[in-house]
Amino acid sequence: MKYAGRFIVAFILLLFVQVSQAQDKQFNHGKRVVIIMMDGFGMSYFNNAPMPHLKAMIAKGFFKQVNALMPTVTNANNTSICTGTFPEVNGISGNFFLNDKGEEEYMEDKHLVLVPTIFQKLKAYGIKSALISSKKKSTTLLPEGADIVVSPETADTSWTNKIGTPASIYSAEVNYWSMKAGIYLLKNRKDIRCIYIHTTDYPMHTWSPADSNSIRHLANIDNLIGEINEAAPDAAIFITADHDVNHKSRCVDVQKALQLQHVDIKLALSPEKDKYVKHHRGFGGASYVYLNKDSDAPAVKKALYKIKGVETVLTRTEAAQKYHLPPARIGDLIVLGDSTTVFGDLESQAEEDLPATYRSHGSVYEIKVPLIILNAGKLPPPSYFNYNKDLAGWLTDVKYQ
């Protein structure tokens, strides 16, 4: 009981006050938290975009380049950020996985998440929260504990009457709608103490960092970040990303490529496989390979290394240890591509040259992302922040309160 009491006091102090050594009268001043998970906003985009509001925040706050989690796909990283845990703990290993029934399953069900979300942790202390996601899949995967859950893909008239009719998920404008929904809550629902905003990376799949359209998209996002800060100058603002996005020149269908060597496997599954096929056609820089039997591993591994574009092949155990992945939800072998190769299902051929406009992620080459904190009061030392998941993970870490 003594430990539980200290935990509650420390947590409430962080979210509701500007924490100070003396824990003084500021305790009576409410502090809100805005977490922005900018999908696809890796270091290449961060470095190319002017974004004056964001850069001003960094000058006054905290910035560090950190690692995303492997595979560098949205669900694995978004869940880790939202729970403050590695995939080995929260159970989300990608967008798709092979379930206990041996069936491919899309990771969109909240029951697949094995630990509490930040919303659940807050609710335990009577703190209300909201989840706003440009991608509706996050509203079914991560809604537990949130008092408000909304996506422009599914918004009803109670939202469209306030924010306007959302643009298509395959647009940059859909992200502006999500940000404006957050601003609306900051202005009109001060009882909501934590707002988590998840954008979509469709613009990053469409435009390179230096493209004028990309710079325009991020300039608009930057203006909306400025509006968030203006609407709630009391709020702590946390920003990070799930992955970078790069051009890929070729796709390999791993199963078909192995068949050309007369090597048979049960299945090769891209953990980046997604319902948003227009983003990247389900191709990604990692592949989960499932064997017919364990004894096939040496021969399959040898054959995989003969495929052009395959850079690393790890066993289930090796991958779980190296990348903090849940062993039961990854392949027997994990294949990682080089900087220009992705893996996925092709209709007939084993390989396909991709157009110059094709952009994707999933590999170690999309692992570097920014971590930005403004107005949060007392922070852990910079060495604490090594992964994007650490952005909000420390909020409930008593040691640093």
Helix then strand count (H, E) for the chain reads 16, 18
Answer yes or no: is pLDDT of 372 > 70. Answer: yes
When comparing pLDDT for 9 and 227, which is higher?
227
> In the 8-state DSSP scheme, what is residue 378?
S
Q: Which residue has the higher pLDDT, 274 or 251?
A: 251
Query: 386: closest CA among 64, 36, 46, 62?
Result: 64
Tell me: pLDDT of 181 over 70: yes
User: What phi and psi values does residue 213 have, to the nearest 5 degrees?
Assistant: -65, -40
- Residues 235 and 225: their CA atoms lie apart, in Å, by 12
Instruction: Please report, for the chain, the start and end positions of each structural domain, with discontinuous segments joined by +.
Output: 30-244+368-400, 248-360
What's the pLDDT score for residue 168? Answer: 93
Mean pLDDT, residues 321-346: 97
Distance between CA atoms of residues 81 and 279, nearest Å: 22
Q: Which residue has the higher pLDDT, 346 or 25?
A: 346
Mind listing the pLDDT tens digit for each residue in 106-152? 899 999 999 999 999 999 989 999 999 999 999 999 999 999 999 99
Lowest mean pLDDT among 74-83, 97-106, 246-255, 322-331: 97-106
30-244+368-400, superfamily in CATH? Alkaline Phosphatase, subunit A (3.40.720.10)
Q: Could you tell me if residue 151 is left (phi over 0), alpha (psi between -120 and 50 degrees) or otherwise beta?
A: beta
- Calculate mean pLDDT across residues 281-293: 94
End-to-end CA distance of the chain: 18
pLDDT-based confidence at residue 1 (cuts at 50, 70, 90): very low
User: Is the pLDDT confidence value at 26 over 50?
Assistant: no
Mean pLDDT of 20-39: 60
**pLDDT tier at 280 (50, 70, 90 boundaries)?**
low
pLDDT reading at 99 higher than 70: yes
In this prediction, residue 31 carries a pLDDT of 79
Instruction: Classify domain 248-360 at the CATH topology level.
Output: Gyrase A; domain 2 (3.30.1360)
> What pLDDT digit, counting tens, does each position of 4-18 carry?
344 333 444 444 333
Structure tokens at 218: 């991020």
Q: Which residue has the higher pLDDT, 401 or 227?
A: 227
